[in-house]
């Protein structure tokens, strides 16, 4: 994969975005299981190097946002792609149903509470985008945030929320955050297959949730919500990437490429020491060499 191929997955401001017209699978980048492992390991080596530079530079941060339907492979992508990074320089946050404290604040409040510090990679497994996705499909949930029913929201409510998110992301960009947003795109048929597979694997039975099956009934509504969301919040500085997700291994390779290239684009370098700092180091080295 090349940087040019990476661009195939980036979403520009497209008023006519339709997920039904975007492939959920493509020709594999790997030829065998061993080839897949070798390609992924190669990307992880680059990832480790750039994470070290990010930490040493300590002026910027990388925020990776993962979104997707249930069983799309978000957990697996995080586990396999990011397994090579130093845990001290990476933080993973899973956005669940808002707590009572979070509901007492504006919907973006919890974003700032969970941002990575400078020099870190932050990963949001689901994110603040749930507030324009699940609440869009189930507007009654907005009442928990002390917002009246959807009938009284006004025609610009969702448009305004998209703008709030875009404005906030642009602000974070100016503060040194590189934001990469990844939507793992799977088919309804593939989701059904993965849900059924959980019944066959005793190690995955704990993952089975009645809510997953209930939400599956709203597949079409979620697709529409994702289309509007991606269409209105993908920007030059904080783009969305739509990754074909029916082939998990291929999706992980694509995601690894996106993350590595995003780090490359940050132009990260090891800090250069001033002449006086170099002189101090030389003196310390001399003292160390003289002592027993």
How much of the chain exceeds pLDDT 90, in percent? 72
Q: Locate tokens 């997707």: which residue?
A: 68
Residue 132 and residue 225 in contact, taking contact as beta carbons nearer than 8 Å: yes
Confidence of residue 159 (pLDDT cuts 50, 70, 90): very high
> 176: which DSSP letter?
T
Domain limits, the chain: 3-290
Please compute, for residue 232, the number of CA atoms within 13 A of its CA located in the half-sphere on the CB side.
19
List, for residues 88-127, the tens digit of each pLDDT value.
Answer: 899 999 998 899 999 999 999 999 999 999 999 999 999 9
Q: Count Cβ neighbours within 10 Å for each residue of 213-248 and write b for 16 or more, e otherwise.
A: eebbeeeeebbebbbbbbbbbbbeebbbbbbbbbbb
Q: Count Cβ neighbours within 10 Å for each residue of 49-68 and write b for 16 or more, e otherwise.
A: ebbebbbebeebbbbbbbbb
* pLDDT above 60 (res 61): yes
Q: How far apart are the first and last CA of the chain?
A: 53
CATH number for domain 3-290, candidates 3.40.50.2300, 2.60.40.10, 1.25.40.80, 3.40.50.300:
3.40.50.300
Residue 87, pLDDT score: 87
Phi-psi region of 146 (alpha: psi -120 to 50; beta: other; left: phi over 0): left
Measured between alpha carbons, how far is 219 from 137 in angstroms, rounded to an integer? 10
Measured between alpha carbons, how far is 244 from 72 in angstroms, rounded to an integer? 10
Confidence of residue 272 (pLDDT cuts 50, 70, 90): confident
Confidence of residue 207 (pLDDT cuts 50, 70, 90): confident
Instruction: Name the nearest CA neighbour of 70 among 216, 261, 279.
Output: 216
Supply 169's token pair: 């992301």
Measured between alpha carbons, how far is 31 from 214 in angstroms, rounded to an integer? 37
């Amino acid at each position: 994969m090349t940087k040019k191929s990476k661009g195939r997955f980036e979403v520009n401001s497209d008023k006519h975005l339709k997920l039904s017209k975007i492939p959920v699978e493509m020709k594999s980048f790997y030829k065998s299981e061993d080839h897949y492992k070798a390609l992924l390991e190669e990307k992880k080596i680059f990832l480790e190097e750039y994470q070290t530079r990010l930490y040493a530079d300590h002026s910027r941060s990388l925020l990776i946002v993962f979104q997707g339907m249930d069983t799309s492979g978000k957990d697996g992508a995080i586990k396999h792609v990011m397994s090579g990074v130093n845990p001290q320089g990476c933080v993973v946050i899973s956005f669940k149903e808002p707590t009572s404290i979070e509901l007492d604040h504006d919907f973006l409040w919890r974003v700032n509470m969970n941002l990575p510090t400078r020099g870190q990679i932050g990963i949001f497994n689901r994110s603040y985008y749930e507030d324009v996705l699940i609440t869009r499909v189930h507007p009654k949930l907005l009442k928990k945030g002390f917002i009246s029913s959807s009938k009284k929201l006004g025609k610009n409510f969702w448009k305004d929320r998209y703008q709030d998110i875009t404005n906030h992301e642009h602000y974070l960009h100016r503060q040194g955050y590189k934001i990469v947003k990844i939507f793992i795109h799977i088919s309804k048929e593939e989701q059904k297959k993965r849900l059924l597979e959980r019944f066959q694997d005793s190690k995955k039975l704990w993952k089975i949730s009645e809510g997953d099956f209930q939400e599956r009934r709203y597949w079409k509504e979620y697709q529409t919500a994702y289309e509007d969301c991606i269409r209105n919040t993908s920007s030059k500085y904080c783009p969305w990437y739509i990754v074909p997700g029916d082939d998990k291994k291929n999706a992980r390779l694509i995601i690894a490429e996106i993350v590595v290239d995003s780090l490359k684009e940050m132009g990260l370098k090891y800090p250069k020491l001033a002449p006086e700092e170099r002189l101090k180091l030389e003196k310390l080295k001399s003292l160390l060499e003289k002592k027993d």
